[in-house]
Amino acid sequence: MMAKKLLITEKPSVAMEFAKALKINTTRKNGYLESEEWIITWCVGHLVTMSYPEKYDENLKKWRLDTLPFIPKEWKYEIIPQVEKQFNIIKDLMHRDDITEIYNAGDSGREGEYIQRLVFMMAKPNPNAEMKRVWIDSQTEEEILKGIKEAKELSYYDSLSDSAYLRAKEDYLIGINFSRLLSIIFGRRVASKINEEHVSISVGRVMTCVLGMIVSREREIRNFKKTKYYKISGEFGEGEFFRAEWKSTEGSSMFESPLLYNETGFKKEDEAKKFIDSIKDKDAIVESIKKTKQKENPPLLFNLAEVQNECTKKFKIKPDETLEIIQELYEKKLVTYPRTDARVLSTAIAKVITKNLNGLSKGCKNEEVQDILKKMSEEKYSTNLVKTKFVNDSKITDHYAIIPTGQGFENFDNLSDLKKNVYLLIVKRFLAIFYPPAEYNKLALTIKVGDEEFFANEKVCTSRGYLDVLKGDSEEKENNIELLSKLKKGEKLKINLMETKEAETSPPTRYNSGSIILAMENAGKLIEDEALREQIKGAGIGTSATRAEIMKKLERIGYIAINSKTQIITPTDKGEVIYDVVFSSMPDMLNPELTASWEKGLDMVAKKEIEPVVFMEKLEKYIRNKIGKLVVPM
């Protein structure tokens, strides 16, 4: 009997790619492929699930306070009936005597690990077979072969598996205990408020926190009162004029005055006009001129959250649709692994990056991409990324950023226009990192009028650099930089005009389905500035693999509404009532920092910084405390 190797992938289409890469003549059997050396089979999503409480005890089917908290000592799992046939096929293959090696080639991430480990746990494979893990960054042929050749012992990924099991247990325990608890105590009250007969309150570790972000933002907007204030602007010069704005500085007669709304404006228009009258006849002198040059580097590469946000902005599509599209591009070998949090490359990939560039240059038929590549080659832009901000091994956990592989073009023409556009978005973000920074001349002018100071700032782009790749033909707005450059320090200027300008405060903006994903990645903070976002990035809420699903669920259970044209998110009446219930009973469930700290804990388990048992003890204590506070014994 000839020894064989068994390889288990995440789904049939991936199994076909592995078979192609291994160049094996396989015979398609029922639920697997077989050749002389290999057997390749597949999961179809989850095959195993955690049992509901009633499987532990029939009486637990009824929701009652005296059965809470429900925390099993021994956990029960079961095969999902719809996929039992495929589970049995895998199980039988794992028990074959001729199998000497079993390769877990599931999706290369925490959830992919979990799906396969559950199968191994339930199927109890042949103990004589050596267990290995294939971990890949793209589905190109060489990456698949490298993944098989360099497959590590399965046990190398045990801590990732521990973290995956704990994530599932945490979501299960919080979901079941708190949904039951709040439904029993507040269900009737919620139902009467929204005129429904019966309401069960759905609580989730990440979902409830995200609902909180959306409701509190909506209420900020609702309660926002616009405030008018009055700025002062002066027109200076002779022949050619320019404007400068007044600001209260330390030497100003209005410094920290109660008459001001902020340092740039007055609460009342007549006070602003009085102030103008007090200074308009004084001399205006150029106090300082500061000229600087500024460089702006290309942005970092896409991780999943960034590309989801960008696709919502550009194409008005939901994050789950973006993920589906990029998953398809990944399976068609066009891009690397999508569910990644990293926005940089590894040193190893950076060293062979010309492969991706050459592939694009030979295979990508898009004219714009060819022009970008042509300019790179004519201008001799360096392709050595190793010492740049785009390469950082310490910022990569499971996978590097999403980039084009430079392969898979045989699949490109059959893609829809939207899918092609998402692909080109990823390609352009990748090519931009080889372009030089954009360069600007900046000029800051201060004019002294008596004791008061007026400021003018101008900026002009002198070299577009990477903007040629990413920003299209954005028009430079007119500016006075040349006129201001001619001024000299100490020069006296003519004041042509001084006037008030009405300004008003604006409310915060609503989240859209892309910006909420970014806010989740940054633990509840929506940070518009890209560089700052990168600096504070720590543990977010949810993971790149689950965030889009959470939004989908909140919409499905009717807690939020997402406008299909604009992708703007608003809470529903039901969502707001649920928020109030959680806020009054267990407000920390709404706190992004707390949710992020749980995520951080899971990450620490994966990195072997804490033992799984420590995490579980903390979780159980948290649940018991919460229930203890709300359920007062009679």
Any idea which of 304-313, 377-386, 443-452, 592-601 has the lowest mean pLDDT?
Answer: 592-601
pLDDT surpassing 90 at residue 595: no
Count of all residues that appear for the chain in the document: 634
Distances (CA, A) of 339 to 134, 306, 397: 17, 11, 11
The top-scoring range by mean pLDDT among 48-57, 387-396, 528-537 is 48-57
- Tokens 């919620």 — which residue? 190
H helices of 124-268, in order, are 141-149, 158-193, 207-222
Give the tens place of pLDDT for each residue, 421-456.
999 999 999 999 999 999 999 999 999 999 999 999
Q: Give residue 11's pLDDT.
A: 94
CATH topology identical between 166-223+510-630 and 304-432: no
Residue 337 among the catalytic residues: yes
Give the C-alpha separation, 390 to 400, whole Å.
Answer: 10
pLDDT surpassing 60 at residue 473: no
Which secondary-structure segment (H or E) carries 417? helix 417-432
Q: Which two tokens stand for residue 378?
A: 């004519």
Can you identify the CATH homologous superfamily of domain 304-432? Topoisomerase I, domain 4 (1.10.290.10)
Average pLDDT value for residue range 228-250: 95
Q: Which amino acid appears at position 365 of this protein?
A: K
Confirm if 585 and 136 have CB atoms less than 8 A apart: no
Give the tens place of pLDDT for each residue, 75-122.
999 999 999 999 999 999 999 999 999 999 999 999 999 999 999 999
Give the tens place of pLDDT for each residue, 125-173.
999 999 999 999 999 999 999 999 999 999 999 999 999 999 999 999 9
Distances (CA, A) of 430 to 357, 417, 529: 10, 20, 20
pLDDT surpassing 70 at residue 242: yes
pLDDT surpassing 90 at residue 333: yes
Q: Give residue 25's pLDDT.
A: 80
pLDDT surpassing 90 at residue 500: yes
Q: Give residue 476's pLDDT.
A: 61
Q: What are phi and psi of 209, to 5 degrees?
A: -65, -40
Mean per-residue pLDDT of the chain: 94
Any idea which of 281-285, 380-384, 469-473 has the lowest mean pLDDT?
Answer: 469-473
Q: Which amino acid appears at position 298 of this protein?
A: P
Give the tens place of pLDDT for each residue, 558-579.
999 999 999 999 999 999 999 9
Q: Cβ atoms within 10 A of the Cβ of 85, count?
A: 12
- Percentage with pLDDT > 70 across the chain: 96
Sign of CA dihedral 461, 465, 471, 473: positive
Question: Of 114, 165, 230, 337, which one is the catalytic site residue?
Answer: 337
DSSP code of residue 380: T
Q: Cβ atoms within 10 A of the Cβ of 526, count?
A: 16
The top-scoring range by mean pLDDT among 14-28, 206-220, 473-487, 593-607 is 206-220
Give the tens place of pLDDT for each residue, 367-394.
999 999 999 999 999 999 999 999 999 8
3-state secondary structure of 500: strand
- Percentage with pLDDT > 90 across the chain: 88
Q: What is the CATH number of domain 228-297+438-504?
A: 2.70.20.10
pLDDT surpassing 70 at residue 537: no
Q: Which two tokens stand for residue 296?
A: 């702006």
4-150 has CATH 3.30.460.10 classification: no
Q: Cβ atoms within 10 A of the Cβ of 306, count?
A: 24
Check residues 527 and 74 and name the one with the higher pLDDT: 74
Task: Give domain 166-223+510-630's CATH architecture.
Answer: Orthogonal Bundle (1.10)
Sign of CA dihedral 549, 551, 552, 554: positive
pLDDT surpassing 80 at residue 528: no
Distances (CA, A) of 138 to 259, 338, 399, 559: 62, 9, 10, 36
DSSP code of residue 335: B
pLDDT surpassing 80 at residue 472: no
Check residues 29 and 10 and name the one with the higher pLDDT: 10
Q: Which of 13, 3, 8 is closest to 327 using CA atoms? A: 13
- Residue ranges covered by each domain of the chain: 4-150, 166-223+510-630, 228-297+438-504, 304-432
Sign of CA dihedral 20, 24, 28, 33: negative
Q: What are phi and psi of 545, to 5 degrees?
A: -80, -25
The string over 55-77, giving b where at least 16 C-beta atoms fall within 10 Å of a residue's C-beta and e elsewhere, is eeeeebeebeeeebbbeeeeeee
Q: Which of 127, 88, 90, 98 is closest to 35 using CA atoms? A: 98
Half-sphere exposure of 533 (CA within 13 A, CB side): 24
What's the pLDDT band for 474 if we cut at 50, 70, 90?
low
Confirm if 326 and 387 have CB atoms less than 8 A apart: no
